[in-house]
Every structure is written in C-alpha cells, then in structure tokens.
Amino acid sequence: MHPSRVLDIQKFIDAQRLSPCQWLIFCLGFLVMVVDGYDTVAMGFIAPSLVREWGIGRSALGPVMSAALVGVAIGALMTGPVADRFGRKAMLVLSVAWFGAWTLVSGHAQTIGELTAFRFLTGLGLGAAMPNAVTLMSEYAPARVRSLAVNAMFSGFSFGLMAGGVAAAWLIPHVGWRSVLVVGGVVPILLTVPLALLLPESVQFLAARPGTHARVVRILKRIAPQASMDDGTSFDAAAPGVTTPKNAALGLVLSARYQRPTLMLWVAYFMALLTWYLLAGWMPMLFQDSGFGVKNSALMASLLPLGGVLGNLCAGWLMDRWTAQRTIVAAFLLTGVLVLIAGRCAGHPVLLGALLFCCGIVVTAPVTSMAAYAAMLYPTEGRATGVAWMFGIGRFGGVASAFVGAALLGLGWHIDAVFSLLVVPSLVAAGALCAIKPNRADRTVGAETTQETAGQR
C-alpha cells in the first residue's frame, strides 16, 4: 500500500515548464478574447450606419450602445459564483455559444428596439466568457509568468478590436453593416467545438471536489508526464491560511480580509472601462466629425488596439518583475498625459495616429492587467467570483461611457474636449489602486514562489 502524500497543485504547476497542454489553454483563451473583442467594438463601427439607415438621432444611440454592456455586467456578476460551483470550462463554452448565437440574431434586427434587446442578450454571454477564460489561464500558468501569460492571452481582445475595425472598413461599404454582426456570430459558434473537445477543466477546481481524483491525475500528467502520482496521492488546491464555507465565494470576496482591495479594484476597473469604452466606442464617430471618411475613421481607430497588444505584453512582463500595483498605476497616469496630448492633434493625422498607438499601449494595459492582478489576489475558492465581480462592476463604467459619449456628441463636443475629459477617470483609477495595501497580491505570489524555490533546494 502506498503511503498517502499531499500534492499542492499550484506549487506543482509552478515547478514545471510550460507544457503543450498549457499552451493549448492559452491559444483557446486567446481565440475567445479575439471574438469577444470583435463583438465589443462592432457597434462603434456600425453606429454611423444606423444613424443614416434608420434616421435616428445620435442621442438615440445611447441605449443600443449600452445594451450589451449592461448585459455584460449582469453576465459577469452571475457567472462568478456559478463557475466557482459548476466549473470554469462549462461556463466558458456555454457563454461563447450564447453570445455567438445572439450576435448572429442581432444582424437580422429590423428596429432600434430589437437591436437593443438582442445586444443585451449578447452581453450576458460576453460578460460570462472573459472572466472564466482569465481564471482558467491564471490557474494553469506558473507564478513566475502568470501576469505575462494572462496579459498575452488578453492581447487576443486587442486583435479582435483590430479585426473589427478592418472587417468594418471592408464589409460596411461592400456588404452593409449587418454583415459585421453575422461574421461576429458565426465565428464564436464555430469556436465552441474546440473549446468543448480540447479545453480541460480547472484542475484546482476539480481537486476541491469529491470523486475527481482520476481526472486531476490525467490533467497533471498532461502538464508533467514524468510526475509520479498514484491512488495514495491527495491534492491541495486551497490557498494557505484561507478557509471558506461551502458555496461562500462571494462572502469571501466581500469578507473583512478582502473588502478594501475588492472595493478599490471595482472603482479602478469602473474608471478604466469608462475611459476605454469612450475611446473605443466613440472614436469612429469623433473622427468622422473631424473630417475623416468611414474607411479612414475605422483604420485610425484600429491603432488603439494595435498599441494595446504591445501594452499587454509590456505590462505583463513588468508585473512579473516589478509589481502589479505599480505597473498598473503608472499606466493610468500615462493614460492621463497621452490622451490630453492626443486630443489636441486632430489636425495632424500622422502625429495623431502615432499618439493613438501610444494611447493604446497605456489605456489597454490596465484593463487587461487588472484581471491578472485580481486573479493573484483571491484564493481558488473565490477566484472566479472575485475576477467576475470586478469585471461585472467595471462594465458599468462601459455602460456609463455609452450615455456619456452620446451626451457629449449631442452637445457638440469635439475630439479635443472629449479626450481632455478622460484625464479625470484615469487619475481616480490610479488613486483607487494606491489605496490598496501596497503589493498585497504581489507579496502573496512572491511568497508562493519563494516557498516553491525553497522546496526545490
């Protein structure tokens, strides 16, 4: 009979090199982010066509622009506790299929009311997809590269934004605005097949459930085929010193230990998404008001997510070597500076394009990096809930951006005034993160890495 031994799953993963299994999780998560990003930006490029075809005022765009964001917020708030109970993979597959189907239906809307309702339903799936993809990646990535892995996966969102801009620049003039939504619906539906067949469930989630020993062993063997595990091996997936009652993930996130960091994360992410969505959602129309054509507006707006790809990778690299908190605060401060300068360069297209690329680096970095930061902060039992609720509360910043953008354009504000306004949420977000006890999550990860290194000596 083999003596019983306890294997700490996170330390086991931290000690291994990246395996094909982990690269597969990264690639599938990256593709989820691509289709999510495409869908997110689609309405921004479609909006001018809606004004012309349906004869509506710009102020009427607020509800349809915000409908998906309201759905995203609700979907994110709902999915966290459900994923912590039933699994990350199941929620991810269902959510991608859901938002793909409703995006496809949105392409056949005949009235602004129908489109608003369909976009809300689309948002429910979008809100559930991203936090589960982030949680899965963070749980499978070794601590030494966790931030870089999550941010690199999140770069798929920026590629999706660029794909949306490029697709809109060609599809709208040649086929019409509905084709943008049809493409955005078909691709996610096709993606659900490899997600269902190839994506493993969170091994830490499985280890915390009874009757899953064989599945846990199979997954860990995919990560480290040479590892020795048998029926006498038990698994520990909980964070040291953290105990939670069953089904109390939200209670943990809002407990005295996590309450202040949680609230500050919510404030910072709300402001981050208010800034990001004001830029990504309304830039095409702002550029058209400044004299750019439909095609040039779409291509100019795509420079923001292009810079975002570089920003994601740089921020992830810095977070793994500096600290997550300092990296994100610095990005917020740089955002305030660069948007202020960019807003005053609308008459200089080349300079404006370069500044938009730089803005993309610093505006997108906090949006993606805070997901990795939140995943560091919470233990397994509450990680999906903590990340999802940050996403959900933050999305209300996106909702606010739809109405703020519609109101500002209705008042006749131009690009310089709108960009100048974005300095305010950037500073508020930086202040909120500074209010979190310094390096709390960074110290936790650092402690785990230190223990791992000590155990290997």
Residue indicated by tokens 């770069």: 155
The angle, 0 to 180 degrees and rounded to 10, between the axes of the packed helices 440-456 and 324-342 is: 140
Predicted confidence at residue 163, as pLDDT, reads 87
Q: In Å, how far from its chain's centre is CA 204?
A: 21
**pLDDT tens digits, 159-209:** 887 888 788 888 988 899 999 999 999 999 999 999 999 999 988 888 877
In this predicted structure, the answer to whether residue 243 has a pLDDT above a threshold of 50 is no
Rounded percentage of the chain residues whose pLDDT exceeds 90: 26
**pLDDT tens digits, 18-74:** 899 999 999 999 999 999 989 877 887 888 888 888 888 777 777 887 888 889 889
- Taking the C-alpha atoms of residue 258 and residue 260, their distance in angstroms, rounded to an integer, is 6
Predicted confidence at residue 240, as pLDDT, reads 37
Q: What is the pLDDT averaged over residues 130-154?
A: 87
Q: Which residues contact 412 (CB under 8 A, 6 or more apart)?
A: none
In this predicted structure, the answer to whether residue 425 has a pLDDT above a threshold of 50 is yes
Q: What is the pLDDT averaged over residues 362-373?
A: 87
In this predicted structure, the answer to whether residue 264 has a pLDDT above a threshold of 70 is yes
Q: What is the pLDDT averaged over residues 371-390?
A: 80
pTM of the model: 0.75
In this predicted structure, the answer to whether residue 292 has a pLDDT above a threshold of 50 is yes
Predicted confidence at residue 237, as pLDDT, reads 60
Highest mean pLDDT among 19-23, 167-171, 232-236, 317-321: 19-23
| pLDDT, greater one: 247 or 150 | 150
Predicted confidence at residue 105, as pLDDT, reads 95
Residue indicated by tokens 């590629």: 159
Predicted confidence at residue 248, as pLDDT, reads 66
Predicted confidence at residue 30, as pLDDT, reads 96
- Taking the C-alpha atoms of residue 33 and residue 48, their distance in angstroms, rounded to an integer, is 25
Predicted confidence at residue 52, as pLDDT, reads 86
CB contact burial 202-225 (16+ within 10 A = b; e otherwise) = bbbbbbbeeebbeebbebbeebbe
- Taking the C-alpha atoms of residue 188 and residue 99, their distance in angstroms, rounded to an integer, is 8
- Taking the C-alpha atoms of residue 318 and residue 359, their distance in angstroms, rounded to an integer, is 18
Burial label, 156 (beta-carbon count in 10 A; 0-12, 13-18, 19+): buried
Highest mean pLDDT among 4-13, 395-404, 418-427: 418-427
Highest mean pLDDT among 38-52, 88-102, 301-315: 88-102
Identity of residue 222: R
pLDDT band at 269 (very low <50, low <70, confident <90, very high): very high
Domains of the chain: 5-456 (1.20.1250.20)
pLDDT band at 449 (very low <50, low <70, confident <90, very high): very low
In this predicted structure, the answer to whether residue 332 has a pLDDT above a threshold of 90 is yes
pLDDT band at 448 (very low <50, low <70, confident <90, very high): very low
* C-beta separation of 109 from 416 below 8 A: no
Predicted confidence at residue 438, as pLDDT, reads 62
pLDDT band at 241 (very low <50, low <70, confident <90, very high): very low
| pLDDT, greater one: 281 or 153 | 153
Q: What is the pLDDT averaged over residues 341-365?
A: 85
